[in-house]
Amino acid sequence: MTDIIDGKGLAARIRRELTQECADITARRGRPPGLAVVLCGDDPGSATYVRNKAKAATEVGILSEVIRRPATHSQAELLADVDQVNARPDIDAFLVQLPLPAGMDANAVIERIAPEKDGDGIHPLNLGRLMMGVPGPRPCTPQGILALLDYACTELKGARAVVIGRSLIVGKPVALLLQERHATVTMCHSRTTNLADEVARADVVVVAAGKPRLVRGEWIKPGATVIDVGTNRVNDKWVGDVDFDGAIGRAQAITPVPGGVGPMTIAMLLANTVRAASLRHR
């Protein structure tokens, strides 16, 4: 039997806890935690993600604001927007939705965000803190993945973990978090020569490649836990990077797509916002 890890249910539980924390913070300091999302350009996927984030924030009692800017916005104008949000007392955390319109330097924009307001946990200072193992806001999706592994009661100490994908927002930070929890981590990417063999050795598989059904069911070691981060639109349906049907019966536990990692990413953004508000109040 394979457990389907209910990310939607876990995220709902975390959001309920955050609702209480939000109410406490609001009562203590007389205003709610504030989250801003800067959306530059007209990427339809980004518009949906931003809408979902703002809605989820409002539901837990966070004051949320979407700052919309056209695709014609210049880099200098966007940096000036970031400076303004950095200075706003009502905003405790924010993010600039990626990807940015062509020609913009996302790294320069991320570096401009005040580290203490870094909702996504991807400012270089916070990534450095993650690498050093000291407290700081952690990137949302990796934080959500670790929560899902704990929820599925996956033993990480001494486990062999394979991470497929080496992006800054998922692959690299999740590998660090897994090492922090004493897993032995192998990073795979598009030049990895025998992905099937790497996966077959793993007790924990995290896949963030953006390639529909890249990981085949028969590759998975019986009893492994599989976290599928991929969100791919195929024939009007969302599918992950793992052949879900093939993994059923082999994996001990697996996240579905949708309803696995996605809701947890949003819940962790809300958690980072509430934490930032709480730290500022102190």
Task: Tell whether residue 166 is a contact of ligand NAP (CB under 6 A).
Answer: yes
Q: Is position 241 annotated as part of the catalytic site?
A: no
Beta bridge partners of 185: 161
Per-residue string for binding with ligand NAP, 171-210, x by CB under 6 A? x----------------xxxxx--x------------xxx
Task: Specify the amino acid at residue 187.
Answer: M
Q: Is position 97 annotated as part of the catalytic site?
A: yes
Cα gap 132→236, rounded to integer Å: 42
Centroid of chain to Cα 78: 23
Give which of 157, 202, 163, 152 is closest to 183, Cα–Cα. Answer: 157
21-54 b/e (C-beta count within 10 Å ≥ 16 → b):
bbeebbeeeeebbbbbbbbbbebeebeebbeebb
Task: Specify the amino acid at residue 113.
Answer: I
Give the chain's end-to-end CA distance (angstroms, integer).
Answer: 47
Per-residue string for binding with ligand NAP, 213-252, x by CB under 6 A? -x--------------xxxx--------------------
How near is the Cβ of 140 to ligand NAP at its closest, in Å? Answer: 7
Tokens 């007392």: give the residue.
Answer: 89
Residues in contact with ligand NAP, counted by CB under 6 A, come to a total of: 26
Q: Which residue among 81, 120, 241, 243 is the active-site one?
A: 120
Neighbours of 99 (CB within 10 A): 12
Task: Tell whether residue 51 is a contact of ligand NAP (CB under 6 A).
Answer: no
**Contacts with ligand NAP in 98-137 (CB under 6 A)?**
none
Task: Tell whether residue 255 is a contact of ligand NAP (CB under 6 A).
Answer: no
Name the residue nearer to ligand NAP (CB basis): 78 or 229: 229
Residues that bind ligand NAP (CB under 6 A): 141, 164-167, 169-171, 188-192, 195, 208-211, 214, 229-232, 261-262, 265
